[in-house]
A and B are shown apart, each in its own frame.
Chain A
Amino acid sequence: MTDKPVYIGGVGIISPLGSGIAKTEKILRQNRSTIEPLELFSLLQGSPLPVGQVHGLDEQSPLPRTHRLAHIAATQAMEGCIRPPDAIIFGTTTGGILTTEQLLRANEHKKELYRYHGLNTVVSYIARELNCTGPALTVSTACSSGAVAIGMALKMLRRGQVETVLAGGVDSLSRLTYFGFHSLQLVDRAGCKPLDQNRQGMVVAEGAGMLLLTTVKPKNHHGLLLGAGFSCDAYHPAAPHPEGQGAFTAMQTALTDGGLTPDDIGYINLHGTGTPDNDLAESKAIHRLFTNLPPLSSIKGASGHSLAAAGAIEAVVSTITVSHDLMPANTGLEKVDPVLGFTPLINPSERSTNAVLSNSFGFGGNNGALVIGKAGIFPQPVVRQPCRGLAIHGYSCLAGAGDTAAAIDRMQNGVSVAGRAAADVISKNLPPRLIRRLKRLPRMTLSLAAGAHENSQFDNQNPGAVFMGTGWGALSETHDFLSRLTDSKEQFPSPTDFVGSVHNGPASQVAIMFGSTGPNITTSGGDYSFEQALFAAELMLDDPAGAALIIGADEGHDAFSPLFDPSVRAGSTLADGGAAFSVSRSTVGAKCSISIPFFKSGKGDGVVAALIDSLGGDISLQNSCALVLAGIPAAGRREGELQLEQFMTQSKLSVPVVHYRRLTGEFASASAVATALAVSFIETGGIPGAVTGKRDIVIDNRINKILVLGLGQYITVLEISRL
């Protein structure tokens, strides 16, 4: 816990405006649009739509475009730093999809070629390049991803366990997003003119923005990250709340978080996509929050909308505003829409300002707002950063064997539940109209969320926040979108599948079902996705009375799982499932507690010793631990087994170890199912010998915790304890 300010020690930016802060500033001062017809990939028919594309990338690189963009921005942000960052958090929605699209079209089946498909591979690649062995996290909340990643970094720094975090957002152009937004009729063929009376929509773009954030005052810095706010509209999968309710909450929360009032804000960097609905909803939210409107503008008429990167790119632009006295113009504006009730900056302004509010809103009504300001102006607010640990009040799980009762019963008897849950099981108790457009992953997620909530005692209190981890997202929707695109020769892409393909789609459906308007965070960290969702929940669930849901789920997909998931062999029987937990900060009436004390690269020096240390040391562990549930993904078997052996030797633990993937099967969020099993043991007060092959274990006041260890590329531990 720290009350030190969070400095922006370095910035990196690559966008259609150019690479680096100097070029970006130059174009913004010129008030020039860089939007142009698509050149990056060829089209089967029709003329190219306008986009914002980055030129001059190394086209010989074997890495996907998203990874290359991230590398350029990260290198800029880290310039002059010798020490690696303690943690990295990126927001991305595209990962390696552009490369995947090309491979699929070439009918390529070599798994090795798809190794950079996953969203988490971007942050893992950068962590490797920068020698960062700390947490490397990926959030995917559609177009607010970059802002949410930066906001999460702020919360992490305030907790005081890290001193530097590299945070940002990145996305490349891809067929999925190019045709996807086109299928929603959201693209303006004439280029993008936010806030204009004749605005017809957005323009899809690409890029990366990064901030090196630190609580150690650097010699030179770009200002402070003062506050962050998150919210969810809980209204519609793709359209914003018509009154801008979620936008208002995110902005208001960001100001409160930074200890600022609306009058402290000297400029608003709007989300301003140029779609009729977004700009109108955002204007309503701004009028509600601000009595005296500060100067404001959207830069998307100059740069286009780079999706997950946009919030981070605009955070970097906000540092230019506070440090270089430049408020960018609302490029492209011809005639302001009188309905909006304000006029944005027609020309760039050189007025100085102490604080900037930067807005980012995304599909699923997922909102993030950041406040960036000058150092030494505002008093440092006393922020009560929540402590570790959450109380579990209810849970549910799904596995090949069926629902919670069926799966837990079998696992408690040491029997495998691996497989794919039947279609009627994953849709059980869900109204047909609610799920008619939803495919496998969102159905599983809704069913898990409803089950966990029903299992809790929160009869009159719906969850306010949702944290979801998924390794691969909605594979059926992604597959079907790309297939129909190819089959129809790019003529009839499906708007329904595009909306469903975004990683945060399932969590936003949960928010709509429960009216959850608090933070709605989807993490996608490969085999550690559920762990990352719990990590985010521990950081962000700051309402002491509020309930939340933490969910981990993945679907097994015939075509995609064997191609993408390194642990799924071609021809093997697919497994999927997940689990959900109804949690709060209050332990009254709870079943047990859960926390994630450790998340680090599996390759760091002394990582196992640090893991034991995070659990209170070997003696404490020996005196309290009942069972280790170990998760070694098939792709990391050798590495994971070695780590497990070192852990058991160094901790001198003599408790049974259960390899939970033997029970659940291989899928990214298997650890969520293992956690449900651990909760069931604590709830029933013991671990049957049938699971461990040894004698029954009683869980009491002394022997009171179960560890869910994640091993392999990263080492993570979840501590599930009796209260």
Chain B
Amino acid sequence: MNKLIEELKVKLIDILNLQDVKPEDFDENGQLVGGELGIDSIDVLEMAVMVEKDYGIIINNQELGEKVFFSLSNLAEHITKNSSRVSS
């Protein structure tokens, strides 16, 4: 799980082009969307594409998206539970 969270931090910095953010700046339990990092609804969609592409999990409704992308640890947990590509 921790390994996955670290992996996700690097991926988010890359796909969301968070140039001034380092992996250690993320609070894995903190609010991911609408929080300090300025991540918004378009980023959520970009993250959903990444989750589908890299982990084979489809997130295509708002309700689920809100839960999954609430925090990095939620996201990691959802991926761990649902993906066959990650070993927990």
Contact = CB atoms under 8 A, between A and B. Distances in A.
Interface of A: 183-185, 236-239, 276, 432-433, 436-437, 488, 491-492, 494-496, 499
A436 B41 contact: no
Contact of A236 (B19, B38, B40): B40
Contacts, number: 43
A488 B38 CA distance: 28
A436 B42 contact: no
Interface stretch (B44-52, B70-78, B79-87): B44-52
Interface in B16-69: 16-20, 38, 40-43, 45-46, 48-49, 52-53, 60, 62
Give 5 nearest A-B pairs by CB, closest first. A495-B45, A436-B17, A432-B20, A432-B19, A433-B38
A717 B67 CA distance: 57
Contacts of A495: 42, 45-46, 49
Contacts of B49: 183, 492, 494-495
Contacts of A432: 19-20
B20 A496 contact: no
B19 A496 contact: no
12 contacts: A185-B62, A237-B42, A432-B20, A436-B17, A436-B18, A436-B19, A437-B17, A492-B52, A494-B46, A495-B42, A495-B46, A495-B49
B16 to A, nearest CB: 7
A488 B52 CA distance: 12
Given A184-B45, A436-B16, A436-B17, 4 more contacts: A185-B45, A276-B62, A437-B42, A495-B49
A430 to B, nearest CB: 12
Which of B38, B45, B48: most chain A CB closer than 10 A?
Answer: B45
Contacts of B45: 183-185, 495-496
Contacts of B20: 432-433
Main SS at interface, chain B: helix
Q: How large is the interface on B (under 10, 10 to 19, 20 to 34, 35 or more residues)?
A: 10 to 19
B42 A499 contact: yes
A433 B18 CA distance: 7
Contacts of B40: 236
B34 to A, nearest CB: 12
Nearest to B41: A239
Contacts of B42: 184, 237-238, 437, 495-496, 499
A236 B42 CA distance: 10
Contact of B60 (A185, A433, A494): A185
Contacts of B18: 436
B84 to A, nearest CB: 18
Nearest to A200: B61
Nearest to A184: B45
A432 to B, nearest CB: 5
Nearest to A484: B49
Contacts of A437: 16-17, 42-43
Which of A183, A238, A495: most chain B CB closer than 10 A?
Answer: A495
Contacts of B19: 432, 436
A684 to B, nearest CB: 38
A124 B29 CA distance: 56
A432 B20 CA distance: 7
A495 B15 CA distance: 12
B32 to A, nearest CB: 15
Contacts of A239: 41
A185 B66 CA distance: 14
Contacts of B16: 436-437
B50 to A, nearest CB: 9
